[in-house]
């Protein structure tokens, strides 16, 4: 059955708690990238138009509760106040901010809300019990609202008080962002138009074991780039120099290579460097000639052409993880060219699964060239692994 969405709720005059993902980068009190705020606006604007009394909750950064001094420093660094200022610029209603996460000040701020107004609550991680899904905290927060909407896809893989605990108590629904994420990722991974090509990059095999396993079952081709490719090449008996290697994953890589014969595609050449630095000496070499004192930091030109070739005719493409150290210009070509090739596929459904690949696509200017760029790194990975996401599982089914 399908989950309820915010459209299924009667929200007028009701206190609606919305779990958003406002975990944005802040430097010296200024927000460096407001993409996550922008992504939440369709749900927020809808609730404003419908006359709801909107209580927004989000985490921001990490708060260590073990040492009082560290806790105080983390709280100061991860204060949500600048987010309220930025949000107020983007909506056509009053935005209040409450610097407390519980108590009379917060309760008074909730009581003061009029229809169509917004209250942003302080960072949920100020509360020690948040990440433990503390029942008492969940019950308290639920008492502030009448309804609950989850619109923080980047957090639905975590069973916290603000993602699961409140939803266990209040009538609940998906916001538009989470609805779109579930719809787009679900279609791409579980109902793909074929051929279906998956591209996996990033540093480590260990980060993506379950994803590789699941995609080997459901994709037509799985292309491997990034640092993780070198563990696979080593498993094939190649010399990889000083390239990234997870020695404890070699047997697993061999198993994947065996299972993925004809399906798993590795790079054939590399941009290698004498050091992990932008100004290092570089050499373009094939798989059999990686120098002993060099490391592979990007896929090479022949690999780019190979991957482009494998993408030809694809009707569904899912991409997660860059092809090299794209933050450094000499090692950005692989990620850039793969990004470009995916974006130019005619009539294909193209999905980026969050994290570094999403950052790369946006940074390289391809933001509007994909069918969908996921807002959740960890959540989209777990979705692609076939795992149940607790923050979605808890939401009520449509009646």
Instruction: Return the C-alpha torsion angle 387, 379, 393, 316, nearest 10.
Output: -70
Residue 272, beta-bridge partner list? 283, 296
Per annotation, catalytic residue among 354, 355, 376, 377? 355
> Residue 1: what pLDDT?
57
CA distance 334 to 112: 54
Catalytic residue among 14, 15, 19, 36: 36
Q: Is 204 a catalytic residue?
A: yes
Mean pLDDT for the stretch of residues 128-146: 97
- CATH 3.40.50.1260 is held by the domain 6-174: yes
Q: In this predicted structure, which of 160-174, 267-281, 361-375 has the lowest mean pLDDT?
A: 361-375
pLDDT (tens digit, 9 = 90+) per residue, 34-55? 989 999 999 999 999 999 999 9
Class of residue 100 by CB neighbours under 10 A (exposed 0-12, middle 13-18, buried 19+): middle
Mean pLDDT of the 389-396 span: 96
Contacts of 252 (CB under 8 A, 6+ apart): 205, 209
The answer to whether residues 242 and 295 touch, using CB atoms and an 8 Å cutoff, is yes
CATH code assigned to 182-384: 3.40.50.1260
State yes or no: is 36 an active-site residue. yes
Annotated active-site residue in 367, 378, 386, 387: 378
Among 110, 112, 97, 173, CA closest to 141: 110
**C-alpha to C-alpha distance for 162 and 142, rounded to whole angstroms:** 9
53 annotated active-site: no
Q: Which of 75, 204, 238, 283 is catalytic?
A: 204
Q: Where in the chain is the domain with CATH 3.40.50.1260?
A: 6-174, 182-384
**Degrees (nearest 5) of the Cα angle 340, 343, 347?**
145
Residue 18 pLDDT > 90: yes
Query: Is 170's pLDDT higher than 90?
Result: yes
Strands (E), 268-341: 269-273, 282-286, 295-299, 316-320
% of the chain residues with pLDDT over 70? 99
Sign, Cα dihedral of 201, 202, 204, 207: negative
């Amino acid at each position: 059955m399908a989950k309820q969405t915010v459209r299924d709720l009667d929200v007028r005059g009701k206190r609606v708690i919305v779990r958003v993902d406002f975990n944005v980068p802040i430097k010296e009190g200024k927000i460096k990238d407001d993409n996550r705020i922008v992504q939440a606006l369709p749900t927020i604007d809808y609730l404003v138009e419908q006359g709801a009394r909107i209580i927004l909750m989000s985490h921001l950064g990490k708060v260590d509760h073990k040492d009082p001094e560290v806790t105080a420093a983390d709280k100061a660094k991860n204060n949500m106040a600048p987010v309220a200022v930025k949000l107020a610029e983007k909506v056509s209603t009053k935005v209040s901010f409450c610097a407390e996460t519980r108590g009379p000040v917060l309760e008074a701020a909730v009581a003061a809300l009029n229809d169509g107004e917004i209250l942003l609550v302080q960072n949920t991680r100020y509360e020690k019990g948040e990440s433990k899904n503390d029942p008492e905290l969940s019950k308290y927060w639920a008492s502030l609202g009448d309804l609950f909407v989850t619109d923080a896809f980047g957090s639905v893989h975590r069973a916290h008080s603000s993602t699961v605990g409140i939803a266990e108590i209040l009538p609940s629904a998906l916001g538009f962002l989470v609805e779109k994420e579930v719809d787009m990722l679900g279609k791409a991974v579980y109902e793909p138009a074929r051929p279906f090509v998956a591209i996996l990059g990033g540093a480590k095999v260990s980060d993506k074991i379950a994803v590789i396993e699941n995609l080997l079952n459901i994709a037509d081709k799985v292309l491997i780039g990034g640092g993780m490719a070198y563990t696979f090449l080593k498993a094939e008996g190649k010399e990889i120099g000083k390239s990234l290697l997870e020695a404890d994953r070699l047997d697993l890589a061999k198993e994947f290579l065996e299972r993925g014969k004809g399906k798993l595609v590795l790079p054939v050449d590399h941009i290698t460097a004498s050091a992990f630095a932008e100004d290092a000496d570089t050499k373009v070499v094939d798989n059999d000639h990686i120098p002993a004192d060099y490391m592979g930091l990007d896929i090479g030109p022949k690999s780019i052409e190979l991957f482009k070739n494998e993408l030809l005719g694809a009707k569904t493409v899912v991409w997660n993880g860059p092809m090299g150290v794209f933050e450094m210009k000499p090692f950005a070509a692989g990620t850039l060219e793969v990004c470009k090739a995916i974006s130019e596929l005619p009539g294909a459904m193209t999905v980026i699964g969050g994290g570094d690949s999403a950052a790369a696509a946006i940074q390289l200017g391809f933001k509007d060239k994909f069918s969908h760029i996921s807002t959740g790194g960890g959540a989209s990975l777990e979705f692609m692994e076939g795992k149940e996401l607790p923050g979605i599982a808890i939401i009520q089914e449509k009646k």
